Amino acid sequence: MALRRRALLLLLLLPMFRYRILAVELFSTDLNPVVQEFYRAELSCIITSTKTVNPRIEWKKIAGKDTSYVYFDHKMQGDWVDRAELHGRTSLVIHNVTRADKGIYRCEVAAPEDTHIGAEININLTVHVKPVAPKCRVPQSVPVGKSATLHCQEKEGFPEPTYKWYRNGETLPLDSKSSSKFQNSSFTMNTKTGTLVFSEVQKGDTGRYTCRATNAVGDAWCEEMEMEVYDLNIAGIVGGVMVVLAVLLLTTVGICCAYRKGLFVNNKQNGNSYKTPAKPDGVNYIRTDEEGDFRHKSSFVI
Ligand SMILES: *[C@@H]1O[C@H](CO)[C@@H](O)[C@H](O)[C@H]1NC(C)=O
Ligand SMILES: *[C@@H]1O[C@H](CO)[C@@H](O)[C@H](O)[C@H]1NC(C)=O
Ligand SMILES: *[C@@H]1O[C@H](CO)[C@@H](O)[C@H](O)[C@H]1NC(C)=O
């Protein structure tokens, strides 16, 4: 019974064994290579078995539906000519990887003398990019007791960076409540979004702030920026308003008096204008209630 079973198993395995020997087979030491930008990348593709003396080797870059040749017809294609070469017959080496090189690369081998003549392998290249200086937004001045949010964003780095805030060169905790040193502050830091949120700023929060973006391959800082916290002094404001009101009142009264006085002066002048002209000889003025000024020839009076 056991013997028959073993014989059957051998009978089943034999053709598979033969088939394996005759097929071209590929292997990669790394199907998901991760390389830092501006470094060398090796996309490993190794023929582990073939009967064919000179198998045909091709490399393609696959971006969605677009497929472009990297290596074809025994030579590098397009701009790959200066940037890449084959190593150890089939592996692809890119000398100076850029972020645009990330993606899927297919190593295809055709071996017409094998029973199974073709094989392919997909390699997913990931390119890590150092962060650049993040963009930071810090409010210049905030009144005591108000909320304030500081922003920090970096868009080049890959993987996406995380963020940390510093004040006067000192690391800030994720939550001010977690440190006795910052007990008078009220902020929380979000290392994913890069925000530093103060629910109520205090005088002691005045300082120079900066943020650092960090990922697997590097870090970068934004320029230090000053946040000033000023007192919103209620007594001072009330005093100021009262001074302004007082000035307004005085001015109004002043204008009013001047206006009234001015009218009076005007009347007087009008009156004078009838009386002051130097009395010409022989002319007299007599004022009567009914007729006003009345002119007489003085020569007749004397
Ligand atoms: C790599 O490529 C970048 C941009 O394409 C270039 O600035 C840099 O000098 C290159 N580095 C080397 C070592 O060739
Ligand atoms: C390639 O690798 C990246 C990063 O590991 C991953 O996000 C992406 O989905 C992979 N692409 C494919 C087609 O597997
Ligand atoms: C917090 O404020 C109190 C009172 O205003 C002060 O005595 C104390 O020194 C402050 N603590 C710190 C760490 O600045």
Give the C-alpha distances (Å, rounded to integers) separating 295 from 275, 287, 290. 12, 9, 14
pTM value > 0.85: no
CA angle 70–60–118, rounded 5-degree value: 125
For residue 294, what pLDDT is reported? 44
Main-chain dihedrals φ then ψ at residue 114, nearest 5 degrees? -90, 160
d(CA 186, CA 196): 10
The pLDDT confidence band at residue 5, using thresholds 50, 70 and 90, is low
Tens of pLDDT, residue by residue over 129-138, are 999 999 999 9
Which atom of ligand 1 has the smallest separation from the CA of 95? 14
Residue ranges lining ligand 2, Cβ < 6 Å: 104, 124, 126
d(CA 80, CA 165): 42
d(CA 247, CA 259): 18
20 lines ligand 3 (CB under 6 A): no
Res. 2: pLDDT tops 70: no
Res. 115: pLDDT tops 90: no
Alpha-carbon Rg of the chain, whole angstroms? 48
For residue 193, what pLDDT is reported? 97
- The answer for residues whose C-beta is within 8 angstroms of residue 140's C-beta and 6 or more apart is 226, 227, 228
For residue 111, what pLDDT is reported? 85
For residue 205, what pLDDT is reported? 95
Residue ranges lining ligand 1, Cβ < 6 Å: 38, 96, 98
Tens of pLDDT, residue by residue over 213-237, are 999 999 999 999 999 999 877 767 7
Going from the Cα of 144 to the center of ligand 2, the distance in angstroms, rounded, reads 48
Res. 282: pLDDT tops 50: no
The least confident of 65-74, 169-178, 233-242, 256-265 is 256-265
The least confident of 199-208, 249-258, 264-273 is 264-273
